[in-house]
Amino acid sequence: MCGRFAITLPPDAMAQLFAAAPANALPEVPNYNVCPTNDVHVVWNADGQRRLGAMRWGFLPHWYKTVNGGPLLINARGETLADKPAFKAACRARRCLIPASGFYEWTRDSADNRLPWYIHPARGEVLAFAGVWQDWERDDQMLRTCAIVTTAANSSMSRIHHRMPVILAPDDWSLWLGETGKGAAALMVPAPETALDFYRVGTAVNSNRASGPELSEPLGT
């Protein structure tokens, strides 16, 4: 599961890191509270060239008659990605990378209060989530949309949540993007135990209207 994340890397640095040609209009950064239906930064391969552009976070299958025509698909389970009608075509032909500086998950206390955690790379400054994307058109409206692929949590993350995004190492980006043959299914596994660190943050991030760097600061600092 991934329902909120942060991205702080400037677009020119993202373009350089992913060797991608950036679009003219990209979402503003830093954003410490990226929420479903927001536009997010996405890297994909088009005609042999990596692109960095914006997509709506919330995958819209082609049969949705409106943007609210079905469940909001922000995540796609890696275990069933190739079989689910919503995702199976995108799994074959439209895979992407979604950069993030970190993401949030929640536990609950004995009073059922939601307690947020910030999960971030143990080394480096960016994560690359595996994603799939889809163009959706109705009448004169066209949206390019995406979802984050998830897998079972590793043992460290399972203390917080039973699912986690598929996080791809740089050596695997080309395979996921379809640039180096087949075998991408093997990448849909939990990140290594040492790949991530996490800590509690304040409950301000529980609101989708909250913003600012304080959202990702350790609780009590």
Please list the active-site residues. Answer: 2, 105
How many other CB atoms are there within 10 angstroms of residue 138's CB atom?
14
Give the DSSP H/E element, type plus range, for residue 18. helix 11-18
Helix (H, G, I), strand (E, B) or coil at 91: helix
The answer to whether the beta carbons of residues 76 and 147 sit under 8 Å apart is yes
Torsion over CA of 125, 128, 129 and 132, rounded to 10 degrees?
Answer: 150
Query: Which segments within the chain are labelled E, that is strand?
Result: 4-7, 21-22, 31-34, 39-46, 49-57, 75-77, 95-100, 102-108, 114-121, 127-138, 141-152, 163-165, 196-200
| Token pair recorded at residue 5 | 């994340």
The residues, any chain, with a CB within 8 Å of residue 48's CB and separated by 6 or more, are: none
The answer to whether the beta carbons of residues 131 and 96 sit under 8 Å apart is yes
